[in-house]
Structure 1
Amino acid sequence: MIIDPVCGMEVNEKSQYKTMYKGKVYYFCSSYCLKEFQKNPEEYLRGGPKGMPHGH
């Protein structure tokens, strides 16, 4: 099971929304969550998912 690190939703590894950060691939439910993660990845990796971001 893969969890979107921004909103906490379960996502499929075939998701088109993904990025690599520090050698690991992260998957997202939407382009919005991907963009939020890219703004400040450490915030989500340290604090965990924050729930549905505003504007999701």
Structure 2
Amino acid sequence: MAHSFSGSRPSARVAALDAIETKYAQRGKKVTVIGLNKPSADMHDKLAGQLTAGH
């Protein structure tokens, strides 16, 4: 099932992906997010790493 970041709260969705990536990175794992459509991938690329400072 494909999901788009378009719509309400796309930054919250990017932050959720960042939190997952950070959690696994702390354990020495690399996370690769696949299957995002172009607008979603662009949003993730633009905002990734900028939203989880408080987590």
TM-score, with normalisation over the residues of structure 2? 0.33
Query: Which protein is richer in helix relative to its size?
Result: 2
Higher RCO (CA < 8 A, seq sep 6+)? 2
Q: TM-score, normalised by structure 1?
A: 0.32
